[in-house]
Amino acid sequence: MRQTTTIFIITIALILFMIGTLCAAGEDISGSLELLIRGDSLFNADEIDEASKVYTQAAETAGSEGNKSVLTEAYSQIALCYLEAERIDEGRSWLEKARKTASEDDPLGWSRYLDVRGRFEWKDAAALQDLLSPKTEEATSTFKEIYSYCLKHGLYERAVNASEMVSATAPSGRSDRKKARIEWALKGINAAEKGEMEKRLGRLWNNLGWAYDDEGRYKESLEAFKKARVYDYRSGVELSMVNADLSVGHALRMMGKIDSARTVLENAQRWALIVKSEKNNKESSGCLGFAFWELGEIYLAQGDSARALTNFKPAYSNLSSAGFRESDPERLKKLDERMRVLSSRR
């Protein structure tokens, strides 16, 4: 289902996808590059302090090796670690070091530097606007530049990351922003397909489906969700597979295909119950919560208010357990109001 946590947190992980290319070319992956890869692994595991230490080692080693590309990437990532720790001024000094070593003739170093610069620009806008997910032309322009640059140089993973950040940062009117989400979701899919990045395509098609959903383009939304489901099923990750079914069921419901939607959603709910009993974490709670909510909407559409209410209650409970009181209070408020209305009719 739709992602509700701040995109800054869920997209901030960067993956050094060129390892396979370097190995194929016979380049020795050792020294500073090996440290950079290790730092990325720690960063992606949210071990920020440890990652910062390893990135510092990578920078020192790169300096002694004369490896300007790794030096730029390491400086950039040290800056990002400070940004994550809310030590922004300290991070800015490392970003300035990265700027001085960065060169447009070095695709890996330049794209990494631009990405981190864009995130600092976004963070500055967040402080200015007092918002977690601000809209800012400056950061948007940087991420658009990254997308074009990375696509040109075959850095498809980073092009996909940039496309997602454009969707997150682009300022405009509400209508224009919706269109931008669709445009950049399609650009992300394009980059992922060029890079044969099958593991990313499920989420990208899912994002496009929700962008269409927000526009009321439910037929296109359904087609996008069906494509997402193909990739999510290939992943073999149960939670992704259940969420894919829930998205398809939602789109069917929005198209008015209530019987078909109910069949899909009831199967997804049974599966979500099993996953919740096995994992019992926030992700499984959120999945089950959406399953109950969608089925509640189905019963409401069929005129069965009592059964709708019996589904909305566990939906609210599970979504609360999944952290929606903090991450998406407006959605819980909407569900709570729905429950109050139904309860008053009894």
Q: In this structure, what CATH number is given to the domain that contains residue 95?
A: 1.25.40.10
pLDDT of residue 12: 39
Q: What is the mean pLDDT of the chain?
A: 89
pLDDT of residue 315: 97
Q: Give the pLDDT mean for 219-234.
A: 97
pLDDT of residue 175: 60
- Asked if residue 108 and residue 28 are part of one domain, the reply reads yes
pLDDT of residue 131: 72
Q: Give the pLDDT mean for 124-136.
A: 78
pLDDT digits (tens, 9 = 90+) for 1-31: 554 433 333 343 444 444 443 443 334 445 9
Q: Is residue 60 part of a domain?
A: yes
Q: Give the pLDDT mean for 309-336.
A: 94
Q: Give the pLDDT mean for 292-307.
A: 96
Distance CA 254, CA 213 (A): 9
Please state which of the ranges 69-83, 172-186, 299-313 shows the lowest mean pLDDT: 172-186
Query: Last residue of a domain, which of 130, 146, 171?
Result: 171
- Asked if residue 241 and residue 167 are part of one domain, the reply reads no
| % of residues, the chain, pLDDT over 70 | 88
| 93 pLDDT higher than 90 | yes
Domain range for 336 is 237-346
- Asked if residue 166 and residue 296 are part of one domain, the reply reads no
Q: Give the pLDDT mean for 85-110.
A: 97
Distance CA 225, CA 227 (A): 5
Q: Is residue 193 part of a domain?
A: no
pLDDT of residue 128: 84
- Asked if residue 165 and residue 245 are part of one domain, the reply reads no
Distance CA 167, CA 184 (A): 6
pLDDT of residue 132: 67
- Asked if residue 3 and residue 97 are part of one domain, the reply reads yes
pLDDT of residue 24: 36
Q: Is residue 231 part of a domain?
A: no
- Asked if residue 281 and residue 161 are part of one domain, the reply reads no
pLDDT of residue 346: 67
- Asked if residue 38 and residue 136 are part of one domain, the reply reads yes
- pTM, entire model: 0.83
pLDDT digits (tens, 9 = 90+) for 170-219: 765 556 677 888 999 999 999 999 999 999 999 999 999 999 999 999 99
- Asked if residue 250 and residue 165 are part of one domain, the reply reads no
pLDDT band at 86 (very low <50, low <70, confident <90, very high): very high
| 327 pLDDT higher than 80 | yes
